[in-house]
Amino acid sequence: DGATTLFWESDVPIDLSSIVVRREFVKSTDGALVPLFIVANKDVTLNGDNAVLQYGYGGFDIAILPRFSASRATWIQLGGVLAVACIRGGSEYGKTWHESGMLENKQQVFDDFIACSEWLISSKWTNSNKLAIQGGSNGGLLVGACMTQRPDLFGACLPAVGVMDMLRFPLFTVGWAWTSDYGDPKDATMFKHLYSYSPYHNLKKGTCYPPTMVTTGDTDDRVVPAHSFKFAAELQYSQACANPVLIRIETRAGHGAGKPTHLRIDEAADVYAFLWQSLQMKEQ
């Protein structure tokens, strides 16, 4: 009869009945409708002043699907709003959705994400001072590209274990395998595309960038920490205002898979403390 039955429920000290999820569709630069999931307290008001954390990935045929996260529930309990953008590059709508955000089409991924950011502001969910963006690995590239292209749009940026140097990524560990999605910088045509959005190469000295906390692991053999080290150093050098640029380096840690719960809690605490300060949040 199509009915659903509860199979298992996480035991968390949070009133989940007070949290609601809604799905919106945002028109991107080419007219495509991009799904945007918004998670918030059900009594949230659209006053243009909510602290919103926007997350995305957008690559390698990976779908970002709804799931439960105690950490995200904590963010909602703190008074924040979570927005998850199902942008091109993933597999949310099959092969075409993936191919529309790879190789020479990679800029479309960033355009989709920025369109969602602008929609959140125009729809009075938040404003540019209260909007934070977050992503890891390929999602770290996403954050890096968006903050270099639109530094005016965000109140905080959280690139994690990101691919930040798009001209040298094939030279380290398994980076060569990513050319299927990114393209090979040895190819003259792809070099131009990669250079046009490479976060490290598009930082401009004298620009006021948002408060940023880069995170990485010192023994990450998937996306080597040199990407984050270089980006953070160049960002600190380029920063033209008092907004902080921090890097959080987890020692004896890799790309994130298998990370013990206590370390995940420590990192989440640091991230949310950074957002609390950067977005000027207040106790509920």
List, as one string, the DSSP characters of 175-227: GGGGHHHH--TTSHHHHHHHHHH-TGGG--TTB-PPPEEEEEETT-SSS-THH
pLDDT of residue 39: 98
Read off the pLDDT of residues 181-224 as tens digits, 9 standing for 90 and up. Answer: 999 999 999 999 999 999 999 999 999 999 999 999 998 889 99
**Count of CB atoms within 10 A of residue 74's CB?**
17
Active site residue 71: no
Name the band, by pLDDT with cuts 50, 70 and 90, for residue 43. Answer: very high
Catalytic residue among 117, 137, 198, 278: 137
Query: Could you tell me which residues are beta bridge partners of residue 55?
Result: 84, 134
Read off the pLDDT of residues 102-132 as tens digits, 9 standing for 90 and up. Answer: 999 999 999 999 999 999 999 999 999 999 9
pLDDT of residue 167: 99
Pure H helices in the chain:
70-77, 95-99, 106-122, 138-149, 179-182, 188-197, 226-238, 261-278
Please indicate, yes or no, whether the overall pTM of this predicted structure exceeds 0.85.
Answer: yes
Least confident range from 55-64, 121-130, 160-169, 256-265: namely: 256-265
Task: Map out the domains of the chain as residue ranges.
Answer: 16-277
Helices (runs of H) and strands (runs of E) counted in the chain: 8, 8
pLDDT of residue 257: 58
pLDDT of residue 9: 81
Active site residue 262: no
183: left (phi over 0), alpha (psi -120 to 50) or beta: left
The hierarchical CATH code for the domain 16-277 is 3.40.50.1820
Catalytic residue among 98, 193, 227, 255: 255
**What are phi and psi for residue 244, nearest 5 degrees?**
-70, 145
pLDDT at residue 90 is higher than 90: yes
